[in-house]
Amino acid sequence: MTEDTTKKITSRRSFLRAGGAAVVGGGAALAAPNVARAQTKTLKVQAAWGGGIFLENAKAYVDRVHAMAGDSLKIDLLPVNAVVKTSQMQDAVHRGVLDGAHYVPAYWYSKSKAASLFGTGPCFGWSSQEVLGWVHYGGGQELFDELMASLGLNVVSFFNSPMPAQPMGWFKEEIKDASQMSGLKYRTVGLAADVLLEMGMSVVQLPGGEIQPAMKSGLIDAAEFNNPTSDRDFGMQDVSKHYHLASFHQSQEFFEITFNKRMFEGLASEHQAILRHASEAENSNFYWHNTKRYAEDLAKLRDQGVNVYRTPDSVMSEQLKAWDIVVDRISAEDEFFAKVVDSQKAYAKEVMNYLNLNQPDYKLAYAHYFG
């Protein structure tokens, strides 16, 4: 081998070694690029709850958002009255003082009685599950968006968490007939106030935390909030021993998660999807989680000496008659209200026809096994 040949081979080997190093270096650069992390987007959201199971539910929604979004989107969940009072929450979201809120439509229905149809309206033979079906697949969301536009509100809302029918509540004695309710000072919210006024009650609208002290002091004679767990947390068993389950005054309700619309539309499309689909995911979690807790706390209330009754059908029949009067009166005054009611009736008539024909009598099976 000549000296020139040796030099050429050495030069070629050096080139290959250098090239290999460049490839390895390039691969390392591709495997670990020096890219700055995007800044976390944080949303300030106030809940209408200061504690208890409903604040747990709000946190469960936030947890789902965080699990899907990682570090790119965070929700700073604030308790009741942290920034504004509950009655001011929707306006605060509209103005951008808050990015969002977790509450129920009945808390702002004074702006439009049609708002109460999205959760605390008349029962057309359906439960909260079917009302949410109407929201998602029966035109309810579109009607809600139309309502927001007509009120000039800069918000976008999602609905979730089908609540069981709310108890008729706590009384000084067992209610066996609707006539016993006449003249009683009673706490409720939303359109239920109009219905029970129609039945002769004197209605007071109070925040949840004020119900027990008001009944203890005699400001009210009877009250409802929402469920056995919250009622037990409020200490209602200390001011009454007569608790009536089942009622048509608020036989279906669910949460509203609302966001400032301009803020929401400015988010990345994947963040918009996460906020929307986390709401849908929490829909199932709420029902599974809360019905178990409600059952457990109802048993604890009984252990504390509370008499638990099912509201007589005769009383609930009178509630339905009162609903008819209230709905007809408001529909005659409010064209949009009537439009929403017609949409709900059409959906309920179709869907509940199938469900009523198909569902077996579960009480029959329960009695077979448990008496």
Q: What is the pLDDT of residues 252-307, one digit of tens each?
A: 999 999 999 999 999 999 999 999 999 999 999 999 999 999 999 999 999 999 99
Q: What is the pLDDT of residues 166-192, one digit of tens each?
A: 999 999 999 999 999 999 999 988 899
Q: What is the largest CA-CA distance in the chain?
A: 120
Report pTM: 0.86
Is the Cβ–Cβ distance between 193 and 205 less than 8 Å? yes
Q: Is 147 exposed, middle or buried (0-12, 13-18, 19+ CB in 10 A)?
A: buried
CA 369 to chain centroid: 33
Buried b / exposed e over 71-101, threshold 16 CB at 10 Å, is ebbebebbebeeebebebbbbbbbeeebbbb
Bridge partners of 76, per DSSP, are: 44
Q: What is the pLDDT of residues 296-322, one digit of tens each?
A: 999 999 999 999 999 999 999 999 999
Would you state the pLDDT for residue 26? 42
Statement: residue 35 has pLDDT above 50: no
Alpha carbons 145 and 124: distance in angstroms, whole number: 22
Would you state the pLDDT for residue 38? 64
Alpha carbons 85 and 280: distance in angstroms, whole number: 27
Q: What percent of the chain has pLDDT over 90?
A: 83
Q: What percent of the chain has pLDDT over 70?
A: 90
Would you state the pLDDT for residue 29? 41
Q: What is the pLDDT of residues 46-101, one digit of tens each?
A: 999 999 999 999 999 999 999 999 999 999 999 999 999 999 999 999 999 999 99
Structure tokens at 249: 């005054």
List CB contacts of 34: < 8 A, sequence separation 6 or more. Answer: none
Say what angle helices 128-137 and 140-150 make with each other, to 10 degrees: 70
Residue 12 CB neighbours (<10 A): 10
Alpha carbons 233 and 294: distance in angstroms, whole number: 11
The mean predicted confidence, pLDDT, of the chain is: 90
CATH superfamily placement of domain 41-163+252-292? Bacterial extracellular solute-binding protein, family 7 (3.40.190.170)
